[in-house]
Structure 1
Amino acid sequence: MSGCCHNDRTIDKLRERQRGTLLIVLGINAVMFLVIAGAALYGNSTALLADSFDNLGDALTYGLSLYVVYRETSAKAKVAIFKGILILVGALVVAAQAIYKLIVPSMPIFEVMGIFSLIALAANSACLFLLWRHRFEDVNMSSVWECSRNDIATNLSVFLAAGAVWFTGSGWPDIAVAIALVWFLVRSSVRVISSALVELRAT
């Protein structure tokens, strides 16, 4: 009986740690969405816009993850599937913006792209550091970790795109990186949904 109580206390402590971490990263991503979206619109950058939607998707993801911290595995798996769908929707939005840029070409401001991609990188690196210890705890936190790891790749890609725009004097690198990020987001969506379906079948 005492062993059972000890296990319950251990699980409660784990969930409290998860909840505390999720609250912090939720706040970071909500703020970064507003900052990066504003910068993307001002700088006319599709790649930076993709970055901002990634932050919005993460903020929604962390909010959903908070909702299921104290729920059973099946509920966590179902929310993970929804997270995967959110990632996919973000990818489709960026793809639409990239297609528009192909039809109506425009030149992004590479200085804005570079500066704000580095700001986003710093914020997302902090999130990744906070989530590191939770990455194998359950399907809920694994999917959160997946989203955070995507952010780092996204930020680095946008920074490289900014350099390429400056070097070539063309807006094509911005579009190329945005398209690459669409593929990256779709792949991540498939991985999150597949893992969640496996977990759901097991329960």
Structure 2
Amino acid sequence: MLKSAYNIPKMDCPSEENMIRMKLDGLNVIRKLEFDIEKRSLTIFHTDEDREITARLEALNFGAKLVNIKNVDDSEVVAESSEAQSKLLWTVLIINFGFFVLEMTTGLISKSMGLVADSLDMLADSFVYGLSLWAVGSTLIRKKKVARLSGYFQLTLAALGIAEVIRRFIGFEEMPDFRMMIGISILALIANAICLFLLQKSKSKEAHMKASMIFTSNDVIINAGVILAGILVLLTQSKYPDLIIGSIVFLIVVRGAFRILKLG
């Protein structure tokens, strides 16, 4: 049995872990994947040398680099419980999709593009978790087709969002409700932290949550950005902080959509 260690600098979110899992799906030589988001590392246990593993990781543009490869005893490899993993994915999928609905609704009510954009980021994560679940009992061709469809759908929503931001920049829109922006974003931040905690806890016997682990997630940083935008809207009495953060998040969603399309 071979044990390959990879450093993946741009793997800072649980949804990116699942994108890697899907990208490596179908390689029969792989026996187990061990992820550490905090350290941005991936350990792969596989039966034979296969350059396709590295090629697929590099195709995602997460900066994956092979650190070392060594022989290990087969007894070191304990198979992952697919049932436990599916249950965990369903949990984070429901949390992310629920907050997509909440943020989209409150974003439209409060006229906050920051909340609308963040809701699409939550939807993007839901797509990734959903694709991971779909892949469990699905053929590779069907999985790739669904990945492409979800990627294009995500791109379309982000493009509409960017167009709306531009319209609001040049138009005379009223100031967004900063109270709703801050309040809902705090709840979304807590939800993202819980998802990250659950996913990391499943890989460790330690039940506590490290602060450094939480803030490796892009989702948490985005939530903090919307909160900051809400505070700036209050202090400046201007719509522009909300539109600026909305633009940034929409671009992040676009990047995520292209990553999903690379799975196909």
TM-score where L is the length of structure 1 = 0.72
Distance 2:189 2:106 in 1: 14
1:66-85 to 2 correspondences below 5 Å: 66-71=133-138, 75-85=142-152
Residue 110 (str. 1) matches residue 182 (str. 2): no
C-alpha contact 1:54 1:90 (8 A) present in aligned 2: no
C-alpha contact 2:124 2:253 (8 A) present in aligned 1: no
Aligned-partner residue type, residue 131 of structure 1? L
Partner in structure 1 of residue 103 of structure 2: 36
Residue 183 (str. 1) matches residue 251 (str. 2): yes
Partner in structure 2 of residue 156 of structure 1: 224
Larger helix percent:
1
Larger radius of gyration: 2
1:69 CA displacement: 1.9
Which deviates the most, 110-119 or 30-39? 30-39
Number of residues paired by the alignment?
Answer: 176
Partner in structure 1 of residue 162 of structure 2: 95
CA-atom RMSD, angstroms? Answer: 2.9
C-alpha contact 1:98 1:179 (8 A) present in aligned 2: yes
1:19 CA displacement: 0.8
Instruction: Provide the secondary structure at the position in 1 that maps to 2:81.
Output: helix
Distance 1:50 1:73 in 2: 31
Instruction: Provide the secondary structure at the position in 2 that maps to 1:163.
Output: helix
C-alpha contact 2:134 2:143 (8 A) present in aligned 1: no
Distance 1:188 1:111 in 2: 28
* From 126, 148, 154, the counterpart of 2:194: 126
Distance 2:141 2:198 in 1: 25
Aligned-partner residue type, residue 174 of structure 2? S
Partner in structure 2 of residue 23 of structure 1: 90
Unmatched 5+ stretches in structure 2: 1-30, 32-77, 204-215
Higher relative contact order (CA 8 A, sep 6+): 1
1:45-84 to 2 correspondences below 5 Å: 45-71=112-138, 75-84=142-151
TM-score where L is the length of structure 2 = 0.57
Provide the identity percentage.
Answer: 34
Unmatched 5+ stretches in structure 1: 1-6, 136-147, 198-203
Partner in structure 2 of residue 139 of structure 1: none
C-alpha contact 1:54 1:87 (8 A) present in aligned 2: no
Distance 1:133 1:106 in 2: 44
Partner in structure 2 of residue 138 of structure 1: none
1:183 CA displacement: 1.8
Distance 2:148 2:199 in 1: 20
1:149 CA displacement: 4.1
Provide, for residues 74-127 of structure 1, a one-character-per-residue CA deviation record: whole Å limited to 9, x for no partner. Answer: 654554444433432332132122123122422001111011101001111112
In structure 2, the CA distance between the partners of 1:15 and 1:38, relative to structure 1 (3 Å rule), is: same
Instruction: Provide the secondary structure at the position in 2 that maps to 1:170.
Output: coil
Larger strand percent:
2
1:35 CA displacement: 1.9
Distance 1:152 1:189 in 2: 19
1:167 CA displacement: 1.6
